[in-house]
């Protein structure tokens, strides 16, 4: 595993893309095939399920380190990464283990059915044979997701350069269901597509946020405009008589949406559609929170199917009659969508996302302002002549979202962040006035620059009124403009209101706390925009 740990350390150390690619190439040229497939699985988020409960690992770690549980918890809060915390508190040895990456995984796999004592003995022995960065990497294999300063895009780029393939083709190879226990590296990466797994999705094409010059240059002759729906971006695949649904996060979610399974009876063999899964009733989409609640459920009960019915809103067709048509212009794909795919339209489970008709930019701006009344969060702009590309590319697809709703609110609680933000107060709770009192209504984590975060961190440390575990109550002095996408009534929140995707739009150093908005202001927004 030393080689893999070295690779991760190099990726961690190097901030420059070219250096990272070089490190990846060095690893993929030197490592064994058995190890490489595991490295790929880890880089693409395919770590096998945990064999040992995280709580147990924690307990064994603080026991071994000779510290109480609360001290472990404090340490974890500061480090922000469980695997790293465990590596840092354990007694340090010199690394003696010669085991390779795939050997570790093979051994961990055998623990699945082992009793707790066997598991514990195994882990303690493993810890004693590892140190420093290798110990950290081992803990990551055990329980963490592997975020190591390398994006999947970078891995794809390194591999495509090494094996002289198009990045989009390489991205496609890495998609979908594959398991490092039963696929070889060359099968996945090098061999010509032989028996392809029928469930394999295409890489999603993602849009950039619209830029000023785009408004000025678009015309209805060259651009399609669609509503931007707020659901789960997905791909529906029908191949070899089976239906598969993938979310954009490359998660196979077929089982979560049983009502969509009947689409299998309609689609011709070899169909892949790109679209959005929405909760949908009475001819319009329901708020995202309805879908979110449904996603969170393990069992899809009859009640859920009734209260939160879903519909697939199709945007695009990527494969038709078994032929990959992603390279065809969008206009062509759209005509396939409208001519053939639209045949299966039915108001309850499947629709083709309509185009917005427009002539002038004025029309478009006016309609854009009305997006919320159409249950949309803005527009998607797509160039008619564009192919369906891979990943986030500039030039052909743009998202043009409506301005968020916003209020000015006061910072009242703060908590330390995780990962990159560990050790700094970066998780904030904001409140609005209800008479003399501040009522918390939203938590926000993003929207400040690093410099602003550090400044606020210092403010919080100097202005802590009380500590409740990890949470600090802060003197209510700082005002921020908080933006959000939607607003809803909620019995679970003290404020009676739940907002969707809250984030900090900007600090308001020009405002005193008493000038912040009131709960009444929020309730007015609820009346106008709430569902």
Catalytic residue numbers, as ranges = 228
Does 149 participate in binding other proteins (rule CB under 8 A)? yes
DSSP string computed for 40-105: HHHHTT-PPPPSS-HHHHHHHHHHHHT--HHHHHHHHHHH--HHHHHHHHSPP--------HHHHH
Binding characters for other proteins, 89-128, by CB under 8 A (x = yes): x--x------------------------------------
Does 79 participate in binding other proteins (rule CB under 8 A)? yes
Least separation in angstroms between CB 454 and other proteins: 6
Does 274 participate in binding other proteins (rule CB under 8 A)? no
DSSP string computed for 348-412: TTEEEPPBPP-SSHHHHHHHHHTGGGGT-SEEEEEETT----SEE-SSSEEEEEPPPEEEEEEEE
Whether the CB-CB separation of 463 and 425 falls below 8 Å is answered with no
Least separation in angstroms between CB 45 and other proteins: 19
Q: Give how far the C-alpha of residue 375 lies from the chain's centroid of Cα atoms, to the nearest Å.
A: 23
Tell me whether residue 125 or residue 420 sits nearer to other proteins (CB atom).
420
Only segment of 43-51, 69-77, 166-174, 500-508 that touches other proteins (CB under 8 A): 69-77
Only segment of 75-83, 94-102, 167-175, 379-387 that touches other proteins (CB under 8 A): 75-83
Tell me whether residue 141 or residue 381 sits nearer to other proteins (CB atom).
141
What the block records as the tokens of 85 is 């915390």
Query: What is the rounded CA–CA span in Å between residue 206 and residue 121?
Result: 47
| Of residues 36-65, those binding other proteins (CB under 8 A) | 65
Least separation in angstroms between CB 87 and other proteins: 9
Only segment of 121-129, 268-276, 346-354, 455-463 that touches other proteins (CB under 8 A): 455-463
Tell me whether residue 80 or residue 180 sits nearer to other proteins (CB atom).
80
Does 470 participate in binding other proteins (rule CB under 8 A)? no
Query: What is the rounded CA–CA span in Å between residue 413 and residue 277?
Result: 35
What the block records as the tokens of 473 is 């109550």
* The one among 93, 366, 454, 494 contacting other proteins by CB under 8 A: 454
Q: For the chain, what is the radius of gyration of the CA atoms?
A: 26
* The one among 32, 45, 78, 179 contacting other proteins by CB under 8 A: 78
Tell me whether residue 217 or residue 462 sits nearer to other proteins (CB atom).
462
β-strand partners of 481: 408, 506
Long-range contacts of 155-163 (CB under 8 A, 24+ apart): 155/24, 155/40, 155/43, 155/44, 157/21, 158/21, 158/24, 158/25, 158/28, 159/24, 159/28, 159/189, 161/21, 161/25, 162/25, 162/28, 162/29, 163/189, 163/190
Helix (H, G, I), strand (E, B) or coil at 214: helix
* C-beta atoms surrounding 238 within 10 Å: 21
Does 516 participate in binding other proteins (rule CB under 8 A)? no
| Of residues 414-443, those binding other proteins (CB under 8 A) | 419-424
Does 214 participate in binding other proteins (rule CB under 8 A)? no
* The one among 30, 32, 69, 70 contacting other proteins by CB under 8 A: 70
Least separation in angstroms between CB 468 and other proteins: 13
Q: Give how far the C-alpha of residue 171 lies from the chain's centroid of Cα atoms, to the nearest Å.
A: 17
Only segment of 8-16, 181-189, 230-238, 397-405 that touches other proteins (CB under 8 A): 8-16
Phi, psi for 57 (deg, rounded to 5):
-60, -45
Number of residues that bind other proteins (CB under 8 A): 35
Does 389 participate in binding other proteins (rule CB under 8 A)? no
DSSP string computed for 140-163: HHHH-----S--HHHHHHHHHHHT
Does 69 participate in binding other proteins (rule CB under 8 A)? no
Does 403 participate in binding other proteins (rule CB under 8 A)? no
Least separation in angstroms between CB 88 and other proteins: 4
| Of residues 11-30, those binding other proteins (CB under 8 A) | 12-15
Name the residue among 153, 147, 154 with its Cα closest to residue 419.
147
Query: What is the rounded CA–CA span in Å between residue 352 and residue 337?
Result: 7
Tell me whether residue 339 or residue 462 sits nearer to other proteins (CB atom).
462
Q: State the residues that interact with other proteins by CB under 8 A.
A: 12-15, 65, 67-68, 70-71, 74-75, 78-81, 84-85, 88-89, 92, 149, 419-424, 450, 454-455, 457-458, 461-462, 467
């Amino acid at each position: 595993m030393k080689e893999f740990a070295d690779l991760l350390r190099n990726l961690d150390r190097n901030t420059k893309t070219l250096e990272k690619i070089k490190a990846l190439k060095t690893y993929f040229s030197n490592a064994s095939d058995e190890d490489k497939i595991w490295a790929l699985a880890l880089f693409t988020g395919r770590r096998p399920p945990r064999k040992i409960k995280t709580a147990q690992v924690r307990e064994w770690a603080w026991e071994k380190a000779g510290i109480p549980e609360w001290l472990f918890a404090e340490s974890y809060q500061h480090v922000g990464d469980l695997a790293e915390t465990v590596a840092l508190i354990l007694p340090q040895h010199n690394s003696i283990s010669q085991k390779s990456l795939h050997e570790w995984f093979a051994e961990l796999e055998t623990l699945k059915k082992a009793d707790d004592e066997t598991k514990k003995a195994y882990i303690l022995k493993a810890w004693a044979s590892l140190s420093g960065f290798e110990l950290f990497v081992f803990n990551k294999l055990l329980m963490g997701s592997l975020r190591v300063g390398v994006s999947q895009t970078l891995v794809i780029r390194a591999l495509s350069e090494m094996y002289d393939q198009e990045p989009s083709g390489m991205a496609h190879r890495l998609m979908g269901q594959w398991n490092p226990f039963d696929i070889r590296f060359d099968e996945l990466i090098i061999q010509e597509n032989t028996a392809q797994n029928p469930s394999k999705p295409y890489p999603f094409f993602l849009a950039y946020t619209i830029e000023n010059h785009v408004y000025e240059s678009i015309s209805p002759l060259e651009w399609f405009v669609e509503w931007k729906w707020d659901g789960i971006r997905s791909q529906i695949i029908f191949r070899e008589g089976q239906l598969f649904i993938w979310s954009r996060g490359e998660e196979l979610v077929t089982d979560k949406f049983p009502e969509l399974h009947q689409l299998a009876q309609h689609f011709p063999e070899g169909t892949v559609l790109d679209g959005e899964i929405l909760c949908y009733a009475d001819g319009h989409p329901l708020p995202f929170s309805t879908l979110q609640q449904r996603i969170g459920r393990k069992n899809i009960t009859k009640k859920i199917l009734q209260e939160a019915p879903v519909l697939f809103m199709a945007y695009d067709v990527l494969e038709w009659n078994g032929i990959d048509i992603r390279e065809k212009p969008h206009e062509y794909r759209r005509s396939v969508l409208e001519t053939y795919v639209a045949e299966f339209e039915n108001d309850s489970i499947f629709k083709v996302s309509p185009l917005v008709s427009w002539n002038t930019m004025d029309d478009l701006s006016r309609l854009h302002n009305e997006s919320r009344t159409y249950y949309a969060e803005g527009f998607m702009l797509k160039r008619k002549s564009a192919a369906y590309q891979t990943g986030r590319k500039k030039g052909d697809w743009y998202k043009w979202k409506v301005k968020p709703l916003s209020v000015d609110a006061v910072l009242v609680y703060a908590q330390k962040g995780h990962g990159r933000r560990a050790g700094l107060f970066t998780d904030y709770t904001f409140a609005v006035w209800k008479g003399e009192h501040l009522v918390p209504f939203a938590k926000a984590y993003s929207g400040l620059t690093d410099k602003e975060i550090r400044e606020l961190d210092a403010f919080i440390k100097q202005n802590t009124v009380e500590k409740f575990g990890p949470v600090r109550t802060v003197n209510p002095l700082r005002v921020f403009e908080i933006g959000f996408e939607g607003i809803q009534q909620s019995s679970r929140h003290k404020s009676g209101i739940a907002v969707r995707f809250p984030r900090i739009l900007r600090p308001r150093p020009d405002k005193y706390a008493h000038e912040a908005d009131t709960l009444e202001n929020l309730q007015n927004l609820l009346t106008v925009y709430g569902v």
